[in-house]
Amino acid sequence: MAELDYQTVQDYLLTLVPPREVELLEMERYAEENDFPIIGPICGYYCYQPARMIGAKSIFELGSGYGYSTAWFAKALRENGGGTVHHTVWDEELSKRAAGYLSRLGSAELVEFHISEAVDALRQTPGPFDIIFNDIDKQGYPASLPVIKDKLSRGGILIIDNMLWHGRIFDSKDASPATEGVRAFTRMITADSDWVVSLAPMRDGMIVAFRK
């Protein structure tokens, strides 16, 4: 058996993503040109899939950037017949940029925009939600889990980005708050019998967890 390497796998996975809207391609170019972290097309399509599978109507994003992941979730909601995806960022300019892209995609009416700390916005927004997506600062991951668990519906899905954290979780000498946050969150959710958890090693690692 040939030995697999990370980049070969990622390149192959990208070929399996269907053609994307011009606006999504533009958002990807902006990320590359400005070194802005987005989940990218492989993980975007991965987020879209469970939203379609469960017929999601209500989605809350903890950390939304300029709306790339939001666009994938909104696409699923539109095809599901409607609903709301909550976009949350601290930065007003990012929120405005997201609104522009989502308007051009014809999805803005499906999005509620919050300019706020993400976990606090989730705490204050009536639920429950069919899907919660978590992509906040990694040191904040552990403290977010109880709030997520309270707001996610039974039978709902939690998606968490950066769970391989650029390989830093494997470095025993790395005890930085962000790396320890990813490790702690992973231990917490996999040890909790209320969740069914799997980690897919695409891009920087994504956990998909089913709330029993």
Q: Is residue 66 in a domain?
A: yes
Residue 143: which CATH number? 3.40.50.150
Give kind and range of the element (H or E) at residue 27: helix 22-34
Answer for the pair 156, 132: CB distance below 8 angstroms, yes or no: yes
Span 113-136, pLDDT tens digits:
999 999 999 999 999 999 999 999
Q: Is residue 160 in a domain?
A: yes
Q: Is residue 25 in a domain?
A: yes
Total count of domains within the chain: 1
Span 165-203, pLDDT tens digits:
999 999 999 999 999 999 999 999 999 999 999 999 999
Q: Which amino acid is at 27?
A: M
| Rounded Cα–Cα distance for residues 136 and 111 (Å) | 19
Answer for the pair 75, 107: CB distance below 8 angstroms, yes or no: yes
Q: Is residue 39 in a domain?
A: yes
Q: Is the pTM of this model over 0.85?
A: yes
Q: Specify the 3-state DSSP secondary structure of 175.
A: coil
**pLDDT (mean) for 152-160:** 97
| Rounded Cα–Cα distance for residues 54 and 160 (Å) | 17
134: β partners: 62, 160
Q: Give pLDDT, residue 1.
A: 66
Range of the domain at 35: 6-211
Q: Is residue 157 in a domain?
A: yes
Q: Is residue 65 in a domain?
A: yes
Q: Is residue 1 in a domain?
A: no
Q: Give pLDDT, residue 138.
A: 96
Q: Specify the 3-state DSSP secondary structure of 61.
A: strand
CB atoms under 10 Å from CB of 25, counted, come to 12
